[in-house]
Amino acid sequence: MRPLAALCLTTALLSSPALAQEKQSVAQLRDSTAFTLSSGTARRGSQKVVRFDKADLSFTVLPDEQALRGEATLTFAPLAPIEFIDLDLDAVFDIIEIQLNGQSLPPGAWSNPEGRLSIALPRTFAVDEVVNVRIAYAGRPHQAKRAPWDGGFVWTTTPDGQPWVASAVQGEGCDLFWPCIDHPQGEPDRVDLHITVPSDLSAPANGRFLGKTDNGDGTTTWNWTARQPDTYAISLNVGSYMEMSADYPSRFGKVIPLRFWRLASDDPAKAQALFDEFPKMMDFFEATIGPFPFGDEKMGVVETPHLGMEHQTINAYGNGYKLDGKGYDWLLQHELAHEWFGNQMTNADWDDMWLHEGFGTYMQPLYARWLNGERAMQAELQTMRLTLANRFPVVSGRPQDAGTVYNAETGPALDLYYKGALIAHTLRLYIGDDAFYESLRRLVYGRPDPKPGNFQPRYATTPEYVAIVNEVTGRDLGWFFDAYLYQAALPDLVMTRDGERVSLEWKTGNARPFPLPVEIEVDGKRRVLPMADGRATFSAPASAHILLDPGSKVLRRLEYLERWKASQTPKT
């Protein structure tokens, strides 16, 4: 791509001795706004009425200056006549130049208040007319305080002193380092990446590798192309990496490249042990859910200085090869799950994020059972059960941004993961494996019979998944999802005894009927009560020992856990 002349001046400024000596965080130099630091606010203006065909992104990463130069060429097709292009880009960057269809626009044609970039078009563009916008910009991107939870860029060094750079922007969004539509439904159809780094470093990224170019000035450009990536899943990773490679023979007939970029300073034996887990995990997911969605690109992993994140075809791994007795690396497995629950199927709104995190998290106990049996699965489920907060509904039923959803003071936060997984477990045991896994295939692929070539990445909502389950089971299970997803309180199974008469009643957060069957055990003998209208009665000797839900199949209120959690709350 043709470099814009003004970038030369910016590079000189960023490389000046005065700035090079300042290793302060970006927040101390220029603050990102609250708007920029959350993702998924309502789309505005033309963002609702354009098809985003392609993003061609060039980055020059300057580790010594902790800075970035970017040049983004974005291709749109209007779905209705437009007079503006509305994008999101962190205002910490200086915009050097903007071109429209090859012609430079005057500086007055755009503004970027609080990171809401608006570009005035010189005329109205009609439906399907090609709009190419090229934006050149430079600056120091927002630095993460505690990646990946408080995201941004991480600038650090490897154990042997080499630069190590990573982006982690799930909660904050793509606008932290490239001009985008920072909303789950802002995915471009294709992204090309050109990442220029010092020649002794590597820059693994999303998608398929197109080769690299030695620029003759001590830098090398790495080129990649990816189809329909989730916006926050586009990532930059720069370091002194060693590439490990193998092939995975898919259950669906393709040979899929496996790639792992580990630090050159790592213990090779530990890295190999992790790499050996790749095909096992791939086989589990393909057998359980369906074909790996990006088999024409790669299943890739890169070691990062933060814990991890689901970057499409280049998942971030920072778990340090830790063994924890599970028999597998939980971080690797969780991020890989997001290739299905997150990258292939993307939530239409952050309010639907449990579709990513809940189902993705449930894949861990299922994988534990796949590897090591029932006890391993139950151990993981019990650990999850101890975490639940139940302060906010998993789904609010209204549009949300990432900051609200992931903040425990305003949204479900970790309940997205663990409560979502336990809801999935209860659902599976209620409707049966065949119906449950068909519902997941329809959710993820949009069809029950996915095969390579017959599906595309898609968006999904919670109401859509409820409709899928209803269709697959032939029953209206709205009551199930209403009680579990849209109420903060867990369903409470209340038992009362009057002599030999025993009564059970479900009580839910909205007092609506909850006819979920319950297994009981009376003096060691089990039976299932249908709980029509949420109630049941049976007879048992007054001296009988009654155990509710002996197989721990149902997610419900447990008072002993509430007492325990209350005892853990620090006194003020």
In this structure, the chain runs to a length of 572
pLDDT of residue 569: 73
Nearest to 234 by CA among 292, 291, 278, 176: 176
β strands within 441-543, DSSP E:
458-460, 492-498, 501-507, 518-522, 525-529, 535-539
**Exposure pattern of 16-29 as b/e (b: 16+ CB <10 Å)?**
eeeeeeeeebbeee
Q: Which residues contact 325 (CB under 8 A, 6 or more apart)?
A: none
pLDDT of residue 30: 79
Supply the DSSP symbol for 107: G
572 residues of the chain, pLDDT tens digit each: 333 333 333 333 333 323 333 333 333 357 999 999 999 999 999 999 999 999 999 999 999 999 999 999 999 999 999 999 999 999 999 999 999 999 999 999 999 999 999 999 999 999 999 999 999 999 999 999 999 999 999 999 999 999 999 999 999 999 999 999 999 999 999 999 999 999 999 999 999 999 999 999 999 999 999 999 999 999 999 999 999 999 999 999 999 999 999 999 999 999 999 999 999 999 999 999 999 999 999 999 999 999 999 999 999 999 999 999 999 999 999 999 999 999 999 999 999 999 999 999 999 999 999 999 999 999 999 999 999 999 999 999 999 999 999 999 999 999 999 999 999 999 999 999 999 999 999 999 999 999 999 999 999 999 999 999 999 999 999 999 999 999 999 999 999 999 999 999 999 999 999 999 999 999 999 999 999 999 999 999 999 999 999 999 999 999 999 999 999 877 65
Rg (CA), the chain: 26
pLDDT of residue 23: 37
What would the pLDDT profile of 102-151 be if each residue is shown by its tens digit?
999 999 999 999 999 999 999 999 999 999 999 999 999 999 999 999 99
Nearest to 310 by CA among 274, 281, 283, 339: 339
Whether residue 148 is preceded by a cis peptide bond, meaning omega within 30 degrees of 0, is yes
pLDDT of residue 15: 34
User: What is the tally of helices (H) and strands (E) in the chain?
Assistant: 14, 27
What is the dihedral sign for C-alpha 279, 282, 288, 293?
A: negative
> What pTM value is reported for the model?
0.93
Distances (CA, A) of 419 to 12, 158, 335, 385: 51, 36, 18, 7
**What are the residues facing 226 on neighbouring strands?**
191
Nearest to 558 by CA among 392, 430, 422: 422
Tell me how far apart the alpha carbons of residues 26 and 143 are, in angstroms, rounded to a whole number: 6
Q: Work out the angle at residue 418's Cα, subtended by the Cα atoms of residues 414 and 424, and round it to the nearest 5 degrees.
A: 135
Q: Which residue has 């952050």 as its token pair?
A: 350
**What are the residues facing 239 on neighbouring strands?**
202
Q: Are 313 and 286 in contact (CB under 8 A)?
A: no
Q: What are phi and psi of 299, to 5 degrees?
A: -105, 105
Q: What domains can you pick out in the chain, each with its CATH number?
A: 6-238 (2.60.40.1730), 241-339 (3.30.2010.30), 347-485 (1.10.390.10), 492-568 (2.60.40)
Per DSSP, the three-state class of 33 is: coil
pLDDT of residue 570: 72
Q: Containing H/E element for 479? A: helix 478-485
Nearest to 296 by CA among 202, 190, 440, 174: 190
Q: Are strands 299-303 and 315-317 parallel, antiparallel or unpaired?
A: parallel
Tell me how far apart the alpha carbons of residues 91 and 501 are, in angstroms, rounded to a whole number: 69
pLDDT of residue 26: 34
What would the pLDDT profile of 482-529 be if each residue is shown by its tens digit?
999 999 999 999 999 999 999 999 999 999 999 999 999 999 999 999
Amino acid at 394: V
pLDDT of residue 29: 58
